[in-house]
Amino acid sequence: MFIIYPAIDLRGGKVVRLKEGDPKRQTIFSTDPVETARQWIEQGAQWIHMVNLDGAFASANDNRSILEKVAQLGIPVQFGGGMRAISDIEDAFNRGAARVVLGTVAIQQPKVVTQAIAKWGAEAICVGLDARDGKITTHGWTQIEQTTPAELGKTMADAGVRHALFTDVNRDGGLGGSNVEATIALGQSTGLQVIASGGVSTTTEIEQLASSGAVAGAVIGMALYEGKIKLDQALEAANQYAN
């Protein structure tokens, strides 16, 4: 089943989108993230993808309390941003997250990923393979590593990881389309259940990703908030390829 994840990016308790991950290029879409989540659920969302941007940028915040409220709405939440230790992961699960996305820690402290899988199971852990110009980015996309998404993905797969989120940072928030070819190739080369992210904005892209058999879902943010694509259209495109 190909899953569509409406994105709720949190910064200062508000729903925002950043263009290419740049905090200086921010658009605020809502001051009520819980109501935003409720609207996506009413429109048919089966998962919510939530990112604590303040956590990713190592800024003090209370965004996890929002996770707690959204998790009570009745559908699973995939939560990421700033989880650099087992205690952060545990707190997210305690607040209701169904799955966490681990980015920076996966490359800096891979043992944390294996510990998390051992404690919560592979279905509850997703590794972020965020990349800029073909290289992994960390710390809220502010630092570039010398490894590729495929290299890190294969390492994580060998460690027992099943789920990965791939974001082409150059395309994120730009409405210019996702990197369909790279996303499919990543799924094929790693065997991971790859979730596409970064620029997904048309039903054609969703159909290409879903029909490949190598991609498990897509996170959609700016395109939904700007009205370029409606959630029911995205769901319909994805459901054509439901098992």
Active site residues: 9, 130
Task: Name the residue among 139, 129, 135, 138 with its Cα closest to residue 165.
Answer: 129
Residue of 193, 181, 195, 199 lying closest to 48 (CA atoms):
195
User: What phi and psi values does residue 241 have, to the nearest 5 degrees?
Assistant: -115, 20
Task: Report the distance separating Cα 52 and Cα 7, nearest Å.
Answer: 11
Distance CA 211, CA 99 (A): 24
DSSP reduced 3-state for 191 = coil
